[in-house]
A and B are shown apart, each in its own frame.
Chain A
Amino acid sequence: MKTMLNIALPKGRLGEKVYAMFEKAGFECPSIRENNRKLIFENPEKGVRYFWVKPSDVAIYVERGAADIGVAGKDILLEYEPDIYELLDLNIGKCRMAVAAKNGFTDDPHRTLRVATKFSNIAARHYRSKGRDFDIIHLNGSIEIAPILDLSDVIVDIVETGTTLKENNLSVIETVVPISARLIANKASYKFKGSTIDTLVRELGLQTEA
């Protein structure tokens, strides 16, 4: 019996883009294109099994070995620091992690900087490296509202086009780190399925260069 390569893909538009790349790389699984409510899709001939999971959970599936490989945003990898291999930058889903504040904001270094964010780890590391005194306010969504209501001085969040910020009279004051989708692998899986994974990485690599 051929061993299956288990692949966790992030649900949504990015995941569909990623699947198209995998398909082109020779790891196709036609049943995934059928419009139904199934969660797991197999192509025994190619030895692949795909499943859709919440984007922020991909790294967990991979780290714990439920998936051999997966695709996760660099933001998630920086925030949760899973113990995995990061094999390839897919160069899609590009955006940046940035610090934003109300238009015209100036930082007063005599006061503790209040930072609202979903990415507490990334934000804390960023300000610790600057030696700035800060206070992290962890929020789970609608981060942009925090500076408007004076809950925080700044926010640390993902910025794609900047439209939401603009409409709320906020602007980016600093880029923390550029973000894109990464191919990750479980370390133990890589030991036993390394040759298949390497083939995939090579093929995907050709697409990201093109």
Chain B
Amino acid sequence: MMQELPLTYQERVIFGLRSLYNRYGYTQYKMSKFEEYDLYARNKDFLVSDRVITFMDTNGRLMALKPDVTLSIVKNTKDAPGALQKLYYNENVYRAAKGNGSFKEIMQVGLECLGDVDEYCIGEVLLLAAESLQAISPDSILDISHLGLLSELIDAIGISENNKSQLLACIGQKNPHELDALCRQWNVASEKAEKLKQLLALSGRPAVVLSQIKALLSDLPGMHALEQLERILALVEDSDMGGILRIDFSEVDDIHYYNGIVFKGFINGVPSSVLSGGQYDKLMRKVGRKAGAVGFAVYMDTLERLDDRQKEYDVDTVLLYGPEADLMQLQAKVRNLRGNGERVAVQRQLPADIRCRRILKFDGSEVEILENNA
């Protein structure tokens, strides 16, 4: 008899995702829990939080418990002209939690596609992000933005390098009034500021929004990026995942690391994004790599509360035995019960918090039923 494996909700999701990535030809990438601290010190802004657990290695090198997987993969893989590496991972990372500032261990599942990345690869990664969300919950949404388009637009409007991050923060907050105030402060022409504001407000299904953006950008740069976005989205739309795609330019990531397409996944009932990713060619350049790269991560810790199935019983049967019981006979009884597919806890005394279907007592010859909750 096949029994249902005693997996938690998160474990089932993880196995589901791994098998999904495997079907698309991604291979698992295993790595050490540690990395030299220097890697993170040089790329602090890429990390969600710059607080890292560090320790001294036996040879005096300053090491860190991995706060991020992507940086390690980028560091530990090599450029090979024309080649494409498709990797997935399932690793713990260590980050400072917002609020109380203590460190948390977070399970992450994700994938990276590195090398000669073309539009097909980006489309495939987007499709896999969408499929990952759908594997977790049918009530999900994948928000997509294009940083290339945004930065071309911002350059054309004439925002200086120093002010860019302030403007992007506004865009990330869908904050039209601060955007107005900043544009006034920087003497941006009002019709250009208005266009930025309109772009910020646009969000929805690609079929609806793409044409609106086109009309909006008609006399501004960014068209090339928009066409790329359109082609890639068409690839994903040509699957049964098209329904969960949304264009939303408030999904901004650090423009010093990301370029091109960036995206975030949401699941109804989870108060933050559960998936995040994009193209990060700029990070690759920073670490001296020539290749392109695109990938995403699923934050398993955000899914904990999605599991609303209450486990009814911890075990089926608690079998109590006294000091006089014959141990060979006891073992035979237990084998018998287990053979019937029951989960059996053998105890001398009833544990305090155990939830069980029934309690049996073996007194040496007979099995007596003490309690039956079934």
- Report which A residues bind B (CB closer than 8 A): 63-66, 83-89, 186-192, 194
Q: Which of B153-161, B172-180, B288-296 contacts A (4 or more CB under 8 A)?
A: B172-180
Chain B contacts with A in 273-293, Cβ cutoff 8 A: 273
Q: Is B272 an interface residue (CB 8 A)?
A: yes
Contact A188–B173 (Cβ < 8 Å): no
User: B272's contact among A87, A188, A192, by CB below 8 Å, is which?
Assistant: A188
11 A/B residue pairs, CB under 8 Å, sorted by A = A65-B270, A65-B271, A65-B272, A86-B173, A87-B175, A89-B177, A186-B271, A188-B272, A189-B271, A191-B143, A194-B203
Take A85-B250, A192-B266, A194-B203 as given contacts and tell me if A187 and B177 are in contact as well, using a CB distance cutoff of 8 Å.
no
For B, the interface residue count at a CB cutoff of 8 angstroms equals 19
Per a CB cutoff under 8 Å, which of A64, A85, A86 touches B271? Answer: A64
Contacts A86-B173, A192-B139, A192-B141 known; 11 new A-B pairs at CB < 8 A: A63-B271, A64-B271, A65-B270, A65-B272, A87-B174, A87-B176, A187-B273, A188-B266, A189-B271, A191-B143, A194-B203
C-alpha spacing A105/B215, complex, angstroms: 56
Determine if B18 is an interface residue (Cβ-Cβ < 8 Å).
Answer: no
Q: Which residues of B sit under 8 angstroms from A63, Cβ to Cβ?
A: 271
Q: Which residue in B141, B173, B268 is a CB contact (below 8 Å) of A85?
A: B173
Q: How far is the CB of B53 from chain A (nearest CB, A)?
A: 23
By a CB distance below 8 angstroms, the chain B residues around A194 are 203
Q: Is B86 located at the chain interface by the 8 A CB criterion?
A: no
Is the CB–CB distance between B273 and A85 below 8 Å? Answer: no
**Which B residues are CB-close (under 8 A) to A65?**
270-272
Complex: A189 Cα to B177 Cα, angstroms: 21
- For the complex, give the distance between the alpha carbons of A89 and B266 in Å: 26
Residue B246 interfacial (CB < 8 Å): yes
B273 contacts A88, C-beta separation under 8 Å: no
Q: Is the CB of A191 within 8 A of B175?
A: no
Q: How far is the CB of B2 from chain A (nearest CB, A)?
A: 37
Bound-complex Cα distance A188 to B265 (A): 9
B178 touches A86 (CB 8 A): yes
Q: Which residues of B contact A84 (CB under 8 A)?
A: 173
Residue in B174, B176, B267, B268 whose Cβ sees the most chain A Cβ within 10 Å: B174
Q: CB distance B175 to A187 under 8 Å? A: no
Residues of A within 8 A of B174 (CB): 85-87, 190
- A87 — which chain B residues lie within 8 A by C-beta? 174-176
* Chain A, residue nearest B250 (CB): A85
Minimum distance in angstroms from B305 CB to a CB of chain A = 10
- Closest Cβ–Cβ distance, residue A85 to chain B (whole Å): 4
Known: A87-B174, A87-B175. A187 touches B246 (CB 8 A): no
Q: Kindly list chain A residues whose C-beta atoms are within 8 Å of the C-beta of B250.
A: 85
| B268 / chain A contacts, CB cutoff of 8 Å | 188, 192
Kindly list the 10 A-B residue pairs having the minimum CB-CB distance in the complex, ordered from nearest.
A65-B271, A89-B177, A86-B175, A85-B174, A191-B266, A86-B173, A188-B266, A191-B141, A192-B268, A188-B271
- Residues of chain A within 8 A (CB-CB) of B272 are 65, 83, 187-188
Least CB distance, A131 to chain B, in whole angstroms: 15
User: Which residue of A is nearest B201, CB measured?
Assistant: A198
With contacts A85-B250, A194-B203 taken as known, whether A188 is within 8 angstroms of B175 at the C-beta atoms is no
Alpha-carbon distance A195/B250, docked complex (angstroms): 16
Instruction: Give chain B interface residues in 166-193, CB to chain A under 8 Å.
Output: 173-178
B139 cross-chain contacts in A, Cβ below 8 A: 192
Give every chain B residue within 8 A of A186 (Cβ-Cβ).
Answer: 271
A89 to B177, CA, bound (A): 7
Q: Judging by beta carbons under 8 Å apart, are B177 and A88 in contact?
A: yes
Known: A84-B173, A86-B175. A188 touches B203 (CB 8 A): no
Which residues of B are found within 8 Å of A64, using beta-carbon distances?
271
A64 to B176, CA, bound (A): 23
Alpha-carbon separation in the docked complex, A204 to B272 (Å): 26
Bound: A83/B308 CA distance, A: 26
Question: Contacts of B246 on A, CB cut-off 8 Å?
Answer: 191
| Min distance, Cβ A124 to any Cβ of chain B, angstroms | 16
Nearest B residue (CB) for A178: B181
Chain B residues whose C-beta falls within 8 Å of the C-beta of A191 in the assembled complex:
141, 143, 246, 266
Closest residue on chain A to residue B264 by CB atoms = A187
Per-residue 0/1 for B348-368: is the Cβ within 8 Å of any A Cβ (1 yes, 0 no)? 000000000000000000000
Given the known A-B contacts A65-B272, A191-B266, A192-B268, are A85 and B143 also in contact in the complex, defined by CB atoms under 8 Å?
no
